[in-house]
Amino acid sequence: MSHYLDYNATALGRPEVGVAVADALALAGNPSSVHAPGRRARACLEDARAQVAALAGTSPENLLFTGSGTEANNLALSGPRPARILASAIEHPSILRPAAERPGGFALIPVDGHGVVDLGALKALLAEPSDGPVLVTVMMANNETGVLQPSEKVVEIAKQAGALVHIDAVQAAGRVALEFDRLGADLMSLSAHKLGGPKGVGVLVKRAEITLAPLIAGGGQERSLRAGTENLPGIAGFGRAALSALAELTGGTEIERQRDLRDRLEAAIAAATPAVVVVGGQVPRLVNTSCLAFPGVAAETLVIAFDLEGFAISAGSACSSGKVEASHVLAAMDLAPGLASSAIRVSVGYATTIQEIDAFVAACRVVLGRNAGAAALGVDRLPA
């Protein structure tokens, strides 16, 4: 039996999203066509835009659909033409790589040992001279540890210095309130598949006065900022996923249920395996995310071993061509190499059950018992 515990890589597709995708596939028209089928397709597109905008906490006209969260991040960095980019050291590669290649300067904002951005360092970097506008980019929640960043403080500090602000909310969307308009950021990225929507659809939210330079030139789609016929089925699925995620955030008990699952998992493993380290466990985190380090056992070995036991988990980001690589996030936190190399991520979601959590804890005895370092972990104390 397979147990999926890797929602931060991509969430299980929601059944209602499949219905929305199928309905959009049945629409014959191009959203840019003026005839009746085209108008029906356009209506579907704009309905989805409104649904995603509601989740983001802004107006529909502020949304630009893209092909992924990665594209949204790249567009955010290439658009405002800043002379300098300041990015936290724990950002996703879709921020760090293009930022490092931009002319005009690039600097990393350090984080503390919990993985929280250093606001004092941000102030110091903003005080340095610059030849033009500065863009500060900080994720709302880290994809590996789940640690929440002080987004409001980041925006406040950046605005006092006259800088633009981009928030990567890809991992946070659907798990915490985004409230783009209230937050006061200039740009924000989201992705459908983190919410249980289709893969290959993203959104960049931007304030109206921000000028962007399109990455893809061609027609006038998405206000001439993202050329090409829109992926209507994917966008419709994004909208439906956003609708469900917003309902979970505002009208039910799902978020607390996921918190209870995470806490149950961590408490059971900590009681049975005292050597385990919950990375970022002392600061606010996403309710669904556990980053667990088992000293003496390589993360890659753990991922493979749990897979053989029927559990899908991960180590680090899932955006590395299927490779398990050393985590720049854990390195930025100054986590000891022995811990960083043994850290795995367990992330739950709307379909995760208590039975799956209990089964995972029980599987630890089997997995750790087969691998070097088991004695140091106290594996003999794990429940059968």
pLDDT digit string (tens) for 240-289? 999 999 999 998 799 999 999 999 999 999 988 888 999 999 999 999 99
Helix (H, G, I), strand (E, B) or coil at 259: helix
Amino acid letter, residue 47: D
Q: Which residue segments constitute the domains of the chain, with CATH numbers given?
A: 3-11+252-381 (3.90.1150.10), 15-249 (3.40.640.10)
Give the model's pLDDT for residue 380.
Answer: 43
How far is residue 280's CA from residue 284's CA, in Å, rounded to a whole number?
8
Check residue 65 and give left, alpha or beta (phi > 0: left; psi -120 to 50: alpha).
Answer: beta
Q: Which residues are catalytic?
A: 319
Measured CA to CA, the distance from residue 383 to residue 366 in angstroms comes to 10
Query: According to the model, what pLDDT value does residue 105 have?
Result: 87
What residue ranges of the chain have pLDDT lower than 70?
1, 79-80, 316-325, 371-384
Residue 281 CA to residue 299 CA, distance in Å, equals 18
With beta carbons less than 8 A apart as the criterion, state whether 206 and 169 touch: no
CA-nearest of 174, 167, 183 to 73 is: 167
At 80 the pLDDT is 62
CA 338 remoteness from chain centre: 26
3-state secondary structure of 131: coil
**Residue 330: what pLDDT?**
95
- Residue 111 DSSP label: B
CA distance 328 to 6: 19
Rounded to a whole number of angstroms, the CA Rg of the chain reads 21
Output the pLDDT for position 383: 37
CA–CA gap between residue 242 and residue 47 (Å, rounded): 11
pLDDT of residue 371: 63
Place of tokens 């290649």: 101
Give the predicted TM-score (pTM) of the model: 0.93
